[in-house]
Each structure stands twice: as C-alpha cells, then as structure tokens.
Structure 1
Amino acid sequence: MTNPVLGPRALNRALLERQLLLNPSASRSPLETIEWLVGMQSQAPGAPYLGLWTRLDGFSFGELETLMTERQVTRMVLMRGTVHLVSAADALLLRPLVQPMLDRTFRQNAFARAVSGVERDEVVAVGRELLGRAALGPAELRRELGARWPEVDPGALVNALRLWAPLVQVPPRGLWSRGGGPRYATVEDWLGRPMESGSPAAALEAVVLRYLAAFGPATVADVQKWCGLTGLREVVDRLRPGLRTFRDEGGRELYDVPGAPLPDPATPVPARLVADFDNLLLSHADRARVLDDAYRTRVMGVNGVVRGTILVDGFVGGIWGIERTGKGDRASATLTVSPFVPLSADDGEALEAQGARLLTASDPSAAVRAVRIGPPAP
C-alpha cells in the first residue's frame, strides 16, 4: 500500500496543533507543556516565558519563575548544543543521551586544540569539586581552572567543561523579573538526584516517540536536526512497526505516532505571535511546513539569533519584538510587528489584541504600553 501524501498545509496544521499554537491549551500546566514539547529553546533566557504565553490560556510569568526557583525545571545545554529549558526529569534523562553530539561539537570547536594536553576526566573531576562547593560564574571558573592548568587558555577550559560535564544555569539567570549572569552547578547537585542510568537505547526510542508526538509527522532527518544526534535511522527502524507512515510531496518518508492529530489542511489559523528562538522553527531539516526559505535570513540572523515571528494563515509572515525604554513612571514598552506580507483587517486586529495582552503580562509595571504594526516589508 502506498503511503498517503501530506502536503505543506497538512504538515503545517499538524505541527501547529501539536505545538498548541492552533488551539492554545486551557488545561495543561506549564510543567506539563514543557515536558510535552521535550524542552524549550532558551538561548535567550526570556524566550520560554513568551513561548508558554502563546501556548497556554491564562499563563502567568510568575508560574515559570516558581518552577525554576523550586528546581522543577532547569536550563542547560542539550539539543543541538544549545541551552534548553527542561523539566528536572528530562534534564536527567536527556543529558546522557545527547553527550555523543556534545562530544562531536567539542571536537569541531577551535578551543579543542587548546585543551588537547589535559585529561578530560581530571578537568571534569576538578570542575565537579569546585561547583560542589558553590555555583560559579564563567569568570570564577576561568580563575579557578586557570590556576590548576596555568599553561592552558582558561576560557577553553571552561568551554570544555560545559560540554564534558552536565552543568545547569541556576537562578536568578532565567528569571523574568530580575535575571542575572550565568552561574553553573552540576545537574546532580542542583536537583539532588543522579542522571538516568537505564538502557540508553530504550530511553532514546522513548524520546524519538515524544518528538514525533510533538513535532511530527517527520523524517529521520527532521529528528536528527531537532536533537543534533546522528545515526537515528536504526532507532526509527526499530520503532517502525508501531508507527504510522506517510510521504511528503518530495517523496520523503514521514513517521508518526498512532492517534496523533492530523487536522484538515483547510483549518483556519488566526494570526498569532510566536516567541523568539521557538523550536517551532528549529526542529525540522525541512522548515517549509512553517517557514518559507525566502524569509529565512530575515528571521534567523547572525550569531544564531532567531527573531520572534508572526504566523499568517499558519506560516511565518513577519517578525516582532519589544522595545523597552525608561524606568519607573517613565517606563514604556512598545511591541512592533513587521509583516512580510499584507495583513487582512482580521489579522491586524488579532495581532494588536495579542500584543496588548502580552505587554500586560510581560511588562506590567510599564507606564506606557503600545502595539505598532508596520507596513509589509519589501
């Protein structure tokens, strides 16, 4: 039997439904949502707050701050070698699984040569001892590690430690209300539990299934793009008897978990704000299901920056950002939308209303809050 073909609109609606962007949830908790999404990209510490706000009706920024200070969620280097916000359970599960990718990342970095003369196990052991006494920032780690290996670039030692050891960034880093520079602890010390030690193969299969549930239907290349690991064809082949299979219009095989939603491609999608660094845009080798390649450089800039985007008919149709000026009774926050395509009156009204609600949630103390929607960019 020939696998059914799913076009870009079918894949788009499936992705938005599973990402809670077609119908934001009124029942999921922030913690449940973070686990459902298998973590949220957090290169920009505030991005997960915006990402949860777009997905959950009634979400309060303080809810996520509480989860962070109570150590129910944490921020650490995981998928694709980038910082993600994950639940405590997923931090302990995912970090060992992505270590092969982090090792590859280390070998590809310029600083690898600088630390070629030191023993990895010794660096990790010294780092663990230092961080077991207190959380330390990069400058403190450079000083301590540099004293132990004076002949080695201390910055390279810190970068190596971040990839070799399971470090988390502890609050106030990542808090919306105050924030701060990065300070590190080991995940085991911070959470008070050891990392998962069960079957890596079984754990990886479970994670692939979770990815398909939240991002599928997807190709093997998509799964690998999301996590940064390679060699996942064998994992998917083992799972294949229990999966649904489709093909895209290019003939590539797509995999999916049974029972996952596949909305009608004609399902209407109101214009919607999507957070910066959102995994909606970063988790497929082929982004055509949500992002036209013609707009890619406008959304994904230098140094890995991923702008906040707007969805128009479900696809990226512009960018947005918030500019903040002044303090106290002179503080202002302006959310500016820069569309790539003409907006209908309904889309413009929807974005203006969302922007106003978001500013109320994100900048409650601002004396002046405004939403501006510009003309379509040429």
Structure 2
Amino acid sequence: MTVLSARALNRAALARQLLLDRSALTAPEAVRHLCGLQAQEPQEPFTGLWSRLRDFAPADLSGLLTGRQAVRVHLMRRTMHLVAADDALGWRARHDAMLRQRVLATYRRELDGVDLAELAAAGRAVMADGEPRTMGEVARAVVGRWPGAGPRPLGELLVAALLPTVQLPPRGLWRTTGGARYLLLASWLGREPDPPAPDGTDPVGEELVLRYLAAYGPAATADLRAWSGLAGLPGAVAALRPRLASFRDEAGRLLLDLPDAPRPDPDTPAPVRFLPAFDNAVLGYQDRSRIIDDEHRLLSVAGERVVLVDGRVAATWTAGEGTVTVSPLGRLARADRDAVESEGTALASFLSDGAGDRVRFAPSP
C-alpha cells in the first residue's frame, strides 16, 4: 500500500481546500465544496473565501445568506457553520443525536430529569409563530416548566440541538453586527429537514464521507470523526470501501480517498495564505500535523488566525484600522517574509475596502 508523506498529505489538503491555487469557483460552489465554513465568528468566512477564490466579493457571500441559499446552523462538532441551504436540510437529522449528546454533556447536572421530547414540543410551540427570537427569549418562554434547569442550558439545548434552527441575518453579513436571533429551519427555508432513512441504511452518512474526502482527503476515519463530531460513520465507510482508494501515512494509519481526487506532487510550490479563525483547513482533522506543528496545535482551537508559509502554519495575524499585524512563530526567510507582506497587504486592502494596506511584523520569538 502506498505510503503518503506528511508533505504529500499537506499538498493534497491544500489542493482540496482551494489553498494551493485560488479557485474559479463561485461563492455558492465553494461553500458547497468545502462542506460549509466554520462560522462562530461571523465575519471570518469572508476571509476564508477571499483566500480561496479568484474573484470573491463580500456581497457574494452576504447575498447567499439574505437569499436563503446558505444558512448559519449548528452542525458539525456542534459549532456554528455556514452551509448551503440544501446541505442544512439534508444533513441536520443525521447530526441530531450528536448535537443532543454534546449539549447534555455540557449541562448534565442542570438538565438531569428534563424530558427532552416534552421540552422540544414546548420549544417548537414557542417558535411556531415564525417570529425570530434570541436564545434567551426562547429559554425564558419555557423555563417556568423547568425552573431547576435554568435558562442558559434550556435555551442552548433547544436552539442548538432539539430544534433545527437557523441563525438569521443580519448576523453574518459583511461588516454588519447583529445579535444571534433564531428561527426554525423549516420556517426560513420553506420545508422541513429531510427525515432519517427509514430502512436502516445511511445514505446521508455515505454522502458525508464522500463530500468530506473530496474537500479534506486522503484521511483516516478518526479525521472524519474529528471534523463531523459523528462517531466515525463506520457503516457508511464500510459500504463505500470498495469505491475508495487506500493509503498509509508515515505513522501507519489507514487513509481513504476518492480514487480520482487530486494528490499533487509533494514538491508543488504552496503560496502564502491567510486563514481566518477556526478554519476547517486546520480543524478538519484529528491528526493536524499535516498543516500545523504539534507545538502550535492549541492555536487552532484558541481562535487564532494563522498564516500558512509553504503550506504550514508559520505565524498568526490580526487586523485593525487598515493594518494587518503578523506575528511569526519562528524566523522567516527573507523571501517568505516578502511573500507574507505581499499577501498581507492585499488582505489589508480587502478588509478595509482599499482604505488601508499596511502590514506590520511583530518581533519573532
């Protein structure tokens, strides 16, 4: 079985994530290909697509949200994701059990003894009028029946797990602030989410496996589980194995992939790229060593925005008042520093609509 080096896996990941070359895909095509964008920080998806697409304009993404072609929903790993509307409808039921388990694990003591079916029915009755509500408003409407649970656990269980909800614009629009208000997914998109398959098969799980490999492969089932939050989708993987290519990484892990998916030459040059906070190019794997050194792994869950140099995390960055500030994690060669400055200047211009285009380097450690 072919062994893929860490550098080969890095170049494959960059290619699938549209980070090796900026893509000609449109914003809706990219959102679908990437299986959505992690979006708990509402403005971060704009940088994510700017770094990946040739002709991206912020209005392209805002228009998807206002036009109901994309939605902000709790999905993979119980985190807020911006996904295509059809994917939200098709995938939501497959994530139900995981969403419930993760909220219950967080608030086990507070929610002990709460009848989930009764709570879901009460929450649905509150939201049935189609009026947008904050999580707090939903919780306060039902907390009288479960006063011991408290509003925060009840609200989070309802809007992030028990009820398929969407987080409404203007939250998530370009340079627009707004509190998190929720509506039932069916009310916003005009139809109920797809129900689970009734016959014991897992067509949605199989689709998730194929879509994940297209955007992240080659990958192990542990990577798939880390990305989705689901329990590895073993039945779906087993059903698809005859159609998939198999490899090993340098640690001996079994990796699966689509047979005809791009796996570039490991020596393919990788341009500097600026990634937003919580980008799935980093978070979408259990073994993140293909893109970030273990000593810096915690940056990926701390909300740090990172800079890729030669395909690997080499710096963090912040932005403000027309300036992008880059903090290298180690010494950068002159050519790499120049490339970071060039890409950072373009990013500063994008973020400020041309009102600023300055890059500042913090001292190297």
Q: TM-score, normalization: structure 2?
A: 0.94
Task: Decide whether aligned partners of structure 1 residues 96 and 248 sit closer, same or farther in structure 2, where only a CA change above 3 A counts.
Answer: same
Choose which of 327, 337, 340 in structure 1 pairs with 2:326: 337
Aligned counterpart, 1:328: none
1:208-248 CA distance string (max 9 Å, x none): 01101110000111111110111423321221111000001
- SS of 1:114 mapped into structure 2: coil
CA distance in 1, matches of 2:193, 2:187: 11
Aligned counterpart, 1:289: 290
1:334-355 CA distance string (max 9 Å, x none): 2101111322333222222222
Cα displacement (A) at 1:104: 1.9
Cα displacement (A) at 1:370: 2.0
Cα displacement (A) at 1:141: 1.9
Code of the aligned partner of 2:337: G
- SS of 1:48 mapped into structure 2: helix
Choose which of 118, 135, 151 in structure 2 pairs with 1:122: 118
Choose which of 171, 190, 195 in structure 2 pairs with 1:197: 195
Cα displacement (A) at 1:360: 2.2
Aligned counterpart, 2:319: 322
Aligned counterpart, 1:327: none
CA distance in 2, matches of 1:65, 1:310: 25
Aligned counterpart, 1:364: 353
CA distance in 1, matches of 2:330, 2:91: 39
The answer to whether the aligner puts 1:31 opposite 2:28 as a matched pair is yes
Cα displacement (A) at 1:19: 0.5
- The 8 Å contact of residues 342 and 375 in structure 1, kept in 2 or not, is answered as no
The farther-off stretch of 69-78 and 136-145 is 136-145
CA distance in 1, matches of 2:149, 2:53: 48
Aligned counterpart, 1:374: 362
Runs of 4+ in 1 over 4 A off after TM superposition: none
CA distance in 2, matches of 1:98, 1:139: 23
Cα displacement (A) at 1:357: 1.9
- Percent identity at matched positions? 42
- SS of 2:114 mapped into structure 1: coil
CA distance in 1, matches of 2:348, 2:251: 41
Task: Decide whether aligned partners of structure 1 residues 152 and 255 sit closer, same or farther in structure 2, where only a CA change above 3 A counts.
Answer: closer
Aligned counterpart, 2:262: 261
CA distance in 2, matches of 1:224, 1:53: 28
CA distance in 1, matches of 2:183, 2:145: 19
Choose which of 181, 186, 189 in structure 2 pairs with 1:188: 186
Uncovered stretches (5+) of structure 2, i.e. residues with no partner: none
CA distance in 1, matches of 2:185, 2:46: 22
Cα displacement (A) at 1:148: 4.5
The answer to whether the aligner puts 1:65 opposite 2:62 as a matched pair is yes
- The 8 Å contact of residues 73 and 80 in structure 2, kept in 1 or not, is answered as yes
Uncovered stretches (5+) of structure 1, i.e. residues with no partner: 324-331
CA distance in 1, matches of 2:9, 2:354: 40
Choose which of 337, 340, 354 in structure 2 pairs with 1:351: 340
Supply the RMSD in Å over aligned alpha carbons. 1.7
- The 8 Å contact of residues 275 and 307 in structure 2, kept in 1 or not, is answered as yes
CA distance in 1, matches of 2:354, 2:256: 46
- SS of 1:188 mapped into structure 2: helix
CA distance in 1, matches of 2:302, 2:165: 23
Aligned counterpart, 2:310: 313
Choose which of 124, 128, 134 in structure 2 pairs with 1:132: 128
Cα displacement (A) at 1:99: 1.4
- The 8 Å contact of residues 142 and 154 in structure 1, kept in 2 or not, is answered as yes
Aligned counterpart, 1:91: 88
Aligned counterpart, 2:168: 170
- SS of 1:168 mapped into structure 2: strand
CA distance in 2, matches of 1:375, 1:174: 33
Cα displacement (A) at 1:37: 0.6
Aligned counterpart, 1:326: none
